[in-house]
Homo-oligomer: A and B are copies of this chain.
Amino acid sequence: MIHRVLIAEDHETVNISVQKTMNDFGVSDINYNYYCDDAFLRVKKSISENNPYDLLITDLSFDTDHRVQTLKCGFDLIKAVREIQPTIKILVFSSENKPAIIKSLYDNYNIDGYIRKARNDAKELKSAFEALLVGKKYFHHDYKTNINSLNIFEFSEWDVFVLKLLAQGKMQKEIPEILEQNNIKPSGLSSIEKRINKIKESFDIITTEQLIAFVKENGIV
């Protein structure tokens, strides 16, 4: 069962609604914070008091303001919390819509569900909560089918590095030098050209502009 829930969400309106949804489920013990650092402190405290949270519901992006934060975003928070309490359930509640990022949350952050802020997000949150109650992870139906199709092609670190340079306005012919300076191999212009070509082929992409649009859209860079 899920008795204790912690909500990390900076938007007050959303925070209120999530609290309400948890309330509707009869969760008695609900805490919430507007900052990641505060949420992390609560998790630490709950462990030391032998009364740990069962579930963390967190946003990904948090606005910055005058309060300097160690944990600046949901990713940071999830990583930190997982370290001190590996078994806690984590639901991510965010408007992020890039498949690569959502996939990474499941694969690398081991989250138990992703709910996108959208038209039926309150209902989705309920579905996710119900999935957790019966010990399952939650996957939105769109992603059940689509989330692995991006996996056919693997973007290497090298790919991402080069694509980022292109997105930053570096010309292809400048990139070999940059790669050498960073001791990254291969660094030849030909290798860059060939690799970019291969990526384009894999996704039926024609121009390099289209490729940049694609990797931006999917959160690869």
A interface residues (Cβ-Cβ under 8 A, vs B)? 10-14, 16-18, 20-21, 34, 63, 65, 117-123, 125, 166-171, 205-210, 212-213, 216-217, 221
Contacts and interface: CB of A to CB of B under 8 A. Distances in A.
Contacts of A167: 209-210, 213
Contacts of A119: 10-12, 34, 63, 65
Copies in the complex: 2
21 contacts: A10-B119, A11-B118, A12-B122, A13-B14, A13-B117, A13-B125, A14-B14, A14-B17, A14-B117, A16-B122, A34-B119, A63-B119, A166-B207, A166-B209, A166-B213, A170-B206, A171-B206, A212-B213, A213-B213, A213-B221, A216-B216
Contacts of A121: 11-13
B207 A169 contact: yes
A118 B63 contact: yes
Given A16-B122, A166-B209, A166-B213, 8 more contacts: A11-B121, A12-B17, A12-B120, A13-B13, A13-B14, A13-B117, A14-B14, A212-B213
A169 B205 contact: yes
B123 A12 contact: yes
Contacts of A210: 166-169, 212
Nearest to A13: B17
Contact of A212 (B118, B122, B212): B212
Given A13-B17, A216-B216, A206 B122 contact: no
A176 to B, nearest CB: 16
A217 to B, nearest CB: 6
B206 A169 contact: yes
Contact of A207 (B171, B207, B216): B171
Contacts of A212: 209-210, 212-213, 216
A66 to B, nearest CB: 11
Contacts of A14: 11, 13-14, 17, 117
With a 10 A CB-CB cut-off, give which of A11, A20, A117 has the most chain B CB atoms.
Answer: A11
A207 B167 CA distance: 9
Contacts of A122: 12-13, 16
